[in-house]
Structure 1
Amino acid sequence: MSYVDGFVLAVPTANREKFKQHAEEAAVVFKECGAQRVIECWGDDVPEGKVTSFPMAVKCKPDETVVFSWILWPSREVRDAGMKKMMEDPRLQPDQNPMPFDGQRLIFGGFNILVDV
């Protein structure tokens, strides 16, 4: 069964193109490591909540945009092996491909697919 890694983060709006380039370069590595798809979505209609919301979850500042992303893997096993390879890949090291956002406010997790229609 397929496996999904999901991510929510806040990116400085001025860094949109830097983020896109960073994501495209990282996607090449993820695909080489076994990912089937890498999806990066730039927030367009992401309301602030009263109790909880995407902006609140990542402490989004007024000059930032929420990004919602996911990576589709063929299985958890492929994901685990792929993430290990990805973390060791020199193309994704901070000195080679610095993150154009605050990684401390990145939310991520791995998910089993429950419904896929």
Structure 2
Amino acid sequence: MAYIDGYVLPVPSDKFGDYQRLARKAGRIWKEHGALAYVEAVAEDVKPGKHTSFPQAVKLKEGEVVVFAYVLFRSRAHRDKVNAKAMADPRIAGMTPQNTPFDGKRMFWGGFKPFVQL
């Protein structure tokens, strides 16, 4: 069984190209440090719900899109090692809320242990 880090965040539509470049860069860095897979996807068929939804979870504003992403690892211990290396990488370490093309305050993430994997 693998281990998965997943996250969801809002990205301003006019900054989506910048976010795509950042995502490609981050994906290369995580893969270089040992991640098995790195996937970023933009919402295509995601509607606001009555009680909760992806748009509601990130407090989506007009002119923004929802991004869902995940990174695959061998185990939680492997995730912890890879993430420590990636976050210390100088290509990522300089990122701050002021120089990223998204609102990190409305991003949510977590680590997940699969219980069904077919």
Q: What are the within-5 Å matches in structure 2 for residues 12-27 of structure 1?
A: 12-27=12-27
Matched residue, 1:108: 109
Letter of the 2:15 partner, please give it. Answer: N
- The offset of 1:12, in angstroms, is 0.4
- Residue by residue over 1:73-93, the C-alpha shift from the partner in whole angstroms, topping out at 9 and shown as x without a partner, is 111111001111111111012
**Structure 2 match to 1:5:** 5
Note the 1:75-94 alignment, pairs <5 A. Answer: 75-92=75-92, 93-94=94-95
> In structure 2, what is the equivalent of residue 44 of structure 1?
44
**Alignment length (residue pairs):** 115
RMSD of aligned alpha carbons: 1.1
Cα distance in 1 for partners of 2:67, 2:5 equals 14
Instruction: Give secondary structure in 2 for the equivalent of 1:84.
Output: helix
Unpaired segments ≥5 residues, structure 2: none
Deviation at 1:36, TM superposition (A): 0.6
TM-score computed with the length of structure 2 as normaliser: 0.93
Could you give the per-residue CA deviations for residues 8-56 of structure 1, whole angstroms, max 9, x where no partner exists? 0000011121111000000111011210110000111110111111011
5+ residue gaps, structure 1, are: none
User: Identity across aligned pairs (percent)?
Assistant: 43
The TM-score with structure 1 as length reference comes to: 0.93
Aligned residue number for residue 72 of structure 1: 72
